[in-house]
Amino acid sequence: MRKRAAQALSPKMGRLGAEDPSSRFRSERRCSTGGPLSAALACLLLAACSNGSPGVSAPTSLAGDQTLRFPIQHDLSTLDPALIDSDAEAQVAHNLFDGLLKFDNNLNVVPDVAAAMPTISADGATYTFKLRQDVAFSNGDKVTAKDVLYSWNRAAAMQGPFATNLSAIMGYDKVSTNQVAGAALEALLEKK
């Protein structure tokens, strides 16, 4: 039986020992009826679990407790978005803070705090965002363009681990090395 099984294996199958019948690596193929029987049982189980109406979903109700519990592996060292230094902190910050843009459920970039997608200058160097008027901080203060600019300048100046992600923005190098104060950078950005 062993010799016949080894001879039946083709070298094209890529199995060890297929070319050498005397090899200690051999494979035998056995036929089993377990596969078709298992598939039939799985289909019966799925049919028994359905609600009987195709295309109609069962009514759902919300749980009384609407708390999101998000597992993370380590304690967070900060919630300051300018200083986060781990993927876990970045995920928490993403869930706590809004940005100018975000991804929708289909991974398309869509406005978040921005009222619309930015207008881009002809040379591609300037992105102009208009903010939604209904956006406010948790204390009720309205979010302004100066608040957004402050956040971006602060992230560059604090030089947190993710600050280099801002390096493609004109003026980043001056803010990150404290050569330009935030107000001066604002004027610099308005001129360019």
User: Domain residue spans in the chain?
Assistant: 2-46, 87-191
pTM for this prediction: 0.56
CB hemisphere CA count around 113 (13 angstroms): 14
Distances (CA, A) of 70 to 26, 74, 88, 124, 138: 49, 12, 10, 39, 21
Ranges of beta strands (E only) in 80-158 are: 101-103, 109-111, 119-120, 127-128
Backbone dihedral angles phi then psi of residue 156, each to the nearest 5 degrees: -70, -45
Cα distance between residue 117 and residue 109, in whole Å? 9
Query: Tens of pLDDT along the chain (192 residues)?
Result: 444 444 444 344 444 444 444 444 444 444 444 555 566 556 555 555 555 556 666 667 888 888 888 788 888 899 898 999 888 888 888 888 999 999 999 999 999 999 999 999 999 888 899 999 999 999 999 999 999 988 888 888 888 888 888 888 888 887 777 665 554 445 444 444
Crossing angle (nearest 10°) for helices 145-158 and 182-191: 110
Integer-rounded Cα radius of gyration of the chain: 30
Q: What angle do CA 126, 128, 131 make, to 5 degrees?
A: 155
* DSSP annotation string for 17-70: TSS-TTSS--------SHHHHHHHHHHHHHHHHS-S-TT-PPP----S------
Q: Looking at domain 87-191, which of 3.40.190.10, 3.90.76.10, 3.40.50.10900, 2.40.30.20 is its CATH number? A: 3.90.76.10
Q: Which of 134, 135, 172 is nearest to 154 (CA)?
A: 172
State in Å, rounded, how far the first CA of the chain is from the last one: 82
Token pair belonging to 157: 């100046």
Residue 139's pLDDT is 95
pLDDT, tens digit, 9 for 90 and up, residues 76-126: 899 898 999 888 888 888 888 999 999 999 999 999 999 999 999 999 888
